[in-house]
C-alpha cells in the first residue's frame, strides 16, 4: 500500500490526496482554504515525525481538516468522562508485582482485526467493544467480532456519533440489554458516514455477555500489570497526534496542534 509522505511539494501531495480520498470542494475559495489547511497539517506531520523516530506521519483521510474540526468530530470523550464520574465505580485492586516487558494479546487470539469508525464520533463504542471482544476470548470463548452499531444506535447513556464513554457503554449493555452484546455480523456497523439509524433491538445474534465492569487505577504500572494478567483493556487517548499518523509506534504524544 502506497503511503503519501509529508515531505514532498505540497501541491502534488494535495492533488494525490484529493484523488486518493475522493475529495472535491464547491468553490475555488474553499479549495484554496483546504490547501492551506493541508500545508499546515504537513508541517505538523514533520514535527510529529521528528519527535517519534519509531512512527511515521503523513497524508491521512484527515489532512484537509483543521485541528478544531478534527477535535469537534473525534475528541468527545472528556465531557462524557466527567458525567460518568458521578456514577458509583468499582476500582479494582491490582496485585503488586511487575508486568512483563511485553505482551501481545493478538498472538493469544484475543484481538479482532482493525476496524474503522469513519466520520462518526463513535470511538468510545470501538474501545468498549474491543475490550469485550478481548476479555471474552481471554476467558476461553471463541474470538468474536461484536457490534459497535448496537451501542451507537441503542445506548441511551451515550450520544452515538456525538461521543460517549466506555463506562457508560458497559453500564448500558448490562442495564438496558441484560448484559447481551450482539455480533458484528448480525448487527453490522453502518454509521461510518455520520448517520445514526434508530435502534433495532430484535433479530440479532448474541455474541458475548457481560455482568459488569471494573475501573483500573490511574497508574501506568497497574494498568500494564492488569492487562498482562487479565487481557485487553479499554482506554481513551488524546488523538491529536493520530490525525497525521500512518504507522509504527508513537512514543511522544502532544495535545497541541
Same domain for 104 and 61: no
Report the CATH number that the domain containing residue 19 is assigned in CATH: 1.10.287.2250
Give the DSSP H/E element, type plus range, for residue 227.
Answer: helix 220-230
Tell me how far apart the 2 most distant CA atoms of the chain are, in Å.
61
Is residue 176 classed exposed, middle or buried when 0-12, 13-18 and 19+ CB atoms within 10 A define those classes?
middle
DSSP secondary structure letters along 26-83: SSHHHHHHHHHHHHHHHHHHHHHHHH-TTEEEB--TTTTS-HHHHHHHH--HHHHHHH
Same domain for 99 and 40: no
SS3 breakdown of the chain: % helix, strand, coil, rounded to 5? 40, 10, 55
- How do beta strands 245-248 and 55-57 pair? antiparallel
Same domain for 146 and 41: no
Same domain for 113 and 217: yes
CA atoms within 13 A on the CB side of 120: 27
Write out the chain's pLDDT in tens, 257 residues. 455 566 668 999 999 999 999 999 999 999 999 999 999 999 999 999 999 999 999 999 999 999 999 988 887 656 666 666 666 678 899 998 999 999 999 999 999 999 999 989 999 999 999 999 999 999 999 999 999 999 999 999 999 999 999 999 999 999 999 999 999 999 999 999 999 999 999 999 999 999 999 999 989 999 999 999 999 999 988 888 999 999 999 998 876 65
Same domain for 89 and 67: no
* Domain boundaries, position 151: 76-230
The span from the CA of 88 to the CA of 47, in Å, is: 41
Same domain for 151 and 56: no
Same domain for 22 and 118: no
Same domain for 105 and 193: yes
Number of domains in the chain: 2
Report the CATH number that the domain containing residue 89 is assigned in CATH: 3.90.70.10
What Å distances lie between residue 182 and 167, 205, 210, CA to CA?
A: 18, 5, 11
For residue 191, is it within any domain?
yes
Task: Answer for the pair 214, 189: CB distance below 8 angstroms, yes or no.
Answer: no
Length of the chain: 257
Same domain for 99 and 49: no
Amino acid at each position: 500500500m502506497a503511503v503519501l509522505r509529508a515531505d514532498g511539494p505540497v501541491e502534488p501531495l494535495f492533488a494525490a490526496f484529493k484523488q486518493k480520498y475522493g475529495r472535491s470542494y464547491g468553490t475555488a475559495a474553499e479549495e484554496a482554504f483546504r490547501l492551506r489547511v493541508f500545508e499546515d497539517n504537513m508541517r505538523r506531520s514533520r514535527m510529529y515525525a521528528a519527535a517519534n523516530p519509531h512512527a511515521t506521519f503523513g497524508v491521512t483521510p484527515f489532512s484537509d481538516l483543521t485541528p478544531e474540526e478534527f477535535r469537534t468530530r473525534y475528541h468527545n470523550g472528556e465531557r462524557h468522562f466527567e458525567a460518568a464520574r458521578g456514577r458509583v465505580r468499582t476500582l479494582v485492586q491490582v496485585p503488586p508485582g511487575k508486568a512483563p516487558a511485553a505482551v501481545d494479546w493478538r498472538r493469544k487470539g484475543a484481538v479482532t482485526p482493525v476496524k474503522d469508525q469513519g466520520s462518526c464520533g463513535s470511538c468510545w463504542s470501538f474501545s468498549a467493544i474491543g475490550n469485550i471482544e478481548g476479555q471474552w476470548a481471554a476467558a476461553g470463548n471463541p474470538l468474536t467480532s461484536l457490534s459497535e452499531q448496537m451501542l451507537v444506535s441503542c445506548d441511551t447513556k451515550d450520544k452515538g456519533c456525538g461521543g460517549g464513554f466506555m463506562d457508560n457503554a458497559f453500564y448500558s449493555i448490562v442495564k438496558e440489554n441484560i448484559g447481551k452484546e450482539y455480533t458484528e455480523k448480525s448487527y453490522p456497523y453502518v454509521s461510518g458516514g455520520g448517520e445514526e439509524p434508530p435502534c433495532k433491538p430484535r433479530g440479532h445474534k448474541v455474541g458475548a455477555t457481560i455482568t459488569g465492569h471494573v475501573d483500573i487505577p490511574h497508574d501506568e504500572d497497574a494498568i500494564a500489570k492488569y492487562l498482562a494478567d487479565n487481557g485487553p483493556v479499554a482506554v481513551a487517548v488524546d488523538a491529536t497526534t493520530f490525525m497525521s499518523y500512518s504507522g509504527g509506534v508513537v512514543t511522544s504524544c502532544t495535545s497541541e496542534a
